[in-house]
Structure 1
Amino acid sequence: MNSFTSKAIYTNSAPAPVGPYSQAVLANGWLYCSGQIPLDHSSGLLVGEGDIKAETHQVLSNLKAVLRAAGSTPSQVVRTTIYLIDLNDFEAVNAIYAEAFTEGTSPARACVQVAALPKGARIEIDCIAYLGTKEG
């Protein structure tokens, strides 16, 4: 018989969710991180004013904070999805993203263009990490 366990992950070092969801859920060793947009965790305001580089740095900072709260690191991320308002931003985002995942195997990834993102953001990134039997 399989037993399922799950635990919601929250941290004040990342923005509070903008809807009825958890920042992440740790389930049977897998960490499912909700999408992060470029909100400052203290003010709740959008960072970057449309500057995709500044927005990408903030998104990755937020995502790393959620990973840390679960006892994880970017090296344990196995899958990401990047949502962009404009695929012309791909090259700039890709360069910054590559700096965030320098240890271990680069995660599998999808990158898609979308019509809109919450709060007027230009980018959102979510991820899945494996923590094994460690329960953050």
Structure 2
Amino acid sequence: MPPFMSQSVTCNGFVFASRSLGLDPESDEFVAGSTYDRAVTVLESARTSLSKVIKVNIFLSKIYYITEVNKACAEFFVGDPKPARSCVAVAELPKGAEMEIELVAEA
């Protein structure tokens, strides 16, 4: 069954990416490894240069995953200014994911 929404949309010079769980697009299964590996997958698959990211929203099923997500963000967001970021713990995420990332970037 095809998805009922896009994972990213470009509009008025911005890329809006959502529902990024760290899934392999071919199998729709989680990328093997840790939260860090899945966060890296999400950041690598953004349809823009990471230097153009403006805002990142991160949702975690448990707040202790923040350590691995911070490690991935520090690796990818090396320039200044860093994007604005919010990070919250939530009760549950789709497919039992430990994290979900949304971002807004210049196209």
Q: TM-score of the superposition, structure 2-length normalised?
A: 0.85
State how many pairs are aligned: 106
Question: 1:96: how far off?
Answer: 1.9
Which secondary structure does the structure 1 equivalent of 2:100 belong to? strand
Corresponding residue for residue 30 of structure 2? 46
Q: Which structure is higher in RCO with an 8 Å CA cutoff and minimum separation 6?
A: 2
Q: Give me the whole-angstrom Cα distance separating, in 2, the residues matched to 1:66 and 1:91.
A: 21
RMSD of equivalent CA atoms:
1.9
Q: Give me the whole-angstrom Cα distance separating, in 2, the residues matched to 1:55 and 1:90.
A: 9
* Sequence identity (%): 33
Structure index of larger Rg: 1
Corresponding residue for residue 79 of structure 1? 55
Gaps of 5+ in 2: none
Question: 1:63: how far off?
Answer: 3.8
Which secondary structure does the structure 1 equivalent of 2:46 belong to? helix
Q: Give me the whole-angstrom Cα distance separating, in 2, the residues matched to 1:65 and 1:40.
A: 10
Alpha carbons of structure 1 residues 79 and 22: separation in structure 2 relative to 1, 3 Å: same
Gaps of 5+ in 1: 1-17, 132-136
Corresponding residue for residue 42 of structure 2? 62
Whether the 8 Å contact between 1:84 and 1:123 is mirrored in structure 2 is yes
Deviations 1:58-106 (A, max 9, x none): 2332343231xxxx21000000001001112222221222111113421
